[in-house]
Amino acid sequence: MLTVHHLLLAFTAVTPLELDDNAGAAVRGAIVNALLNRFCANKAAPTCADCPLLTVCPVAALVAPMRDAGETGGEQRPRPYVTRPPQPRRYAPGETLTFGLGLFGHAADLFPYLVMAAQGIEVQGLGRRLQENNGRRGAVRLAAIDAFNPLTGAKQSLFRAGQRQVQAPGIPIGPAEVAAFAANLPTDRLTLRFLSPMRLIDGGRLVKRPALRPLVQRLGIRLTDLSTAYGDGPLPVADARSLLPLAEGATLARDTTRWIDVISHSRRTGERTPIGGFIGDAVFTGDLGPLRELLVWGSLVHVGKNAVKGDGWYNVES
């Protein structure tokens, strides 16, 4: 069984801080850098894959999870987490910025490392380098961490500034919770609200407008990979083959999405990666009942390119 733990991390700006449209990539980069700076025991290794400590390293398990011999797919498994970006804007000292993290399956056991990485962001800063900060990133202080169920709104306080101990996440979301939420959705009309860029490739081409069939097809593959790598095996609902005709037959009844172009830049590798996609609302009609459960899973694990950087985040609404 695959479970998902969603977390909300709140930081208080200490100095002016600015996040632009690649806020998800900035957050992911800050977390990865903090993990490597604090916990990497072999910084001489050029990559995690080249390190002899790979199989026992918690950092590698989060940032570079390699497939075992015999596993299908690329060299690496999908990352066991996604980010949910903060609002891209300027933050004045004293203001709060909040972002989300989703942890998949047994990766939740690595929660203590992520807490320490979040505290490490206090040291390295966040956002763009600003002249008024003497060329440094915005300084922040970790204010709170909550476990959060985006399906029900339930919250659990895990940490508050000044506390000496952190609680373990205790709001897992699994197949039963997903099925219960999906059962209350309409069977003939659904709204997908794309909260971060949705970037899908179908037949080698970028999908520029919302369409259910490529989304469902890619989601089935992603959920199978995640439940195999971090759960107890593939979830039955992840086998999307029988759902593709229904997804293909759905009608895009209303489309208020727009395309945004966003570039993610890696300071470590110098690479520039396009992470743009469409955001906004898409209303679909048709025989959607059998699709509901899989679509709700997608709202929890994201789908499409660059999910680890915050892309592919959407809500399913009536």
Taking CB atoms within 8 Å and a gap of at least 24, the contacts of 217-225 are 217/244, 217/247, 218/303, 218/304, 219/294, 219/295, 219/297, 219/298, 219/303, 220/294, 222/78, 222/298, 222/301, 222/303, 222/307, 223/2, 223/294, 223/297, 223/298, 223/301, 225/73, 225/77, 225/78
Regarding whether 182 and 100 lie in a shared domain, the answer is no
Regarding whether 311 and 181 lie in a shared domain, the answer is yes
Residue 269: per-residue pLDDT: 64
Regarding whether 180 and 277 lie in a shared domain, the answer is yes
Residue in the block written with tokens 């970028």: 206
Residue in the block written with tokens 């997908």: 192
- Residue 198 included in any domain: yes
Q: Could you give the C-alpha distances from 89 to 7, 30, 221, in angstroms and in order? A: 21, 17, 34
Q: Which domain holds residue 263?
A: 175-317
The residues near 80 (Cβ < 8 Å, ≥ 6 apart) are 61, 62, 65, 103, 104, 105, 107, 110, 226, 229, 230
Regarding whether 113 and 66 lie in a shared domain, the answer is yes
List, in sequence order, every residue forming a beta bridge with 138; answer none if it has no partner. 126
Separation between Cα atoms, residue 20 and residue 130, nearest integer Å: 13
- Residue 170 included in any domain: no
Six token digits for residue 14: 């200490």
- Give, for all 318 residues of the chain, the pLDDT tens digit: 899 999 999 999 999 999 988 899 899 999 999 999 999 999 999 889 899 999 899 889 998 898 777 676 677 889 999 999 998 899 999 999 999 999 999 999 999 999 999 999 999 999 999 999 999 999 999 999 999 999 999 999 999 998 889 999 999 999 999 999 999 999 999 999 999 999 999 999 999 999 999 999 999 999 999 999 999 989 999 999 999 999 999 999 999 999 999 877 666 666 777 888 999 999 999 999 999 999 999 999 999 999 999 999 999 999
Six token digits for residue 267: 């300071």
Separation between Cα atoms, residue 131 and residue 28, nearest integer Å: 23
Regarding whether 254 and 130 lie in a shared domain, the answer is no
Residue 96: per-residue pLDDT: 97
Regarding whether 186 and 48 lie in a shared domain, the answer is no
Q: What is the 3-state secondary structure (H, E, C) of 103-126?
A: EEHHHHHHHHHHHHHHHHHHHHCE
Regarding whether 180 and 102 lie in a shared domain, the answer is no
Residue 158: per-residue pLDDT: 97
- Residue 165 included in any domain: no
Element (H, E) at 169: none
Nearest Cα neighbor of 280 from 252, 254, 257 is: 257
Task: For residue 154, give the CATH number of its domain.
Answer: 3.30.70.1890
Nearest Cα neighbor of 75 from 49, 47, 103 is: 49
User: Cβ atoms within 10 A of the Cβ of 177, count?
Assistant: 18
Six token digits for residue 313: 């985040």
Residue 242: per-residue pLDDT: 95
Of 130, 160, 190, the one marking the end of a domain is: 160
Residue 70: per-residue pLDDT: 66
Regarding whether 179 and 148 lie in a shared domain, the answer is no
263: left (phi over 0), alpha (psi -120 to 50) or beta: beta
- Residue 306 included in any domain: yes
Of 95, 129, 160, the one marking the end of a domain is: 160
Task: For residue 301, give the CATH number of its domain.
Answer: 3.30.70.1900
Residue 21: per-residue pLDDT: 85
Of 160, 185, 209, the one marking the end of a domain is: 160
- Residue 47 included in any domain: yes
Regarding whether 300 and 241 lie in a shared domain, the answer is yes
Regarding whether 294 and 268 lie in a shared domain, the answer is yes
- Residue 60 included in any domain: yes
- Residue 166 included in any domain: no
Six token digits for residue 156: 């659990």
Regarding whether 188 and 311 lie in a shared domain, the answer is yes
Regarding whether 220 and 98 lie in a shared domain, the answer is no
Strand 96-104 relative to strand 4-13, pairing:
antiparallel
Residue 66: per-residue pLDDT: 84
Element (H, E) at 9: strand 4-13
- Residue 169 included in any domain: no
Q: How many domains does the chain have?
A: 2
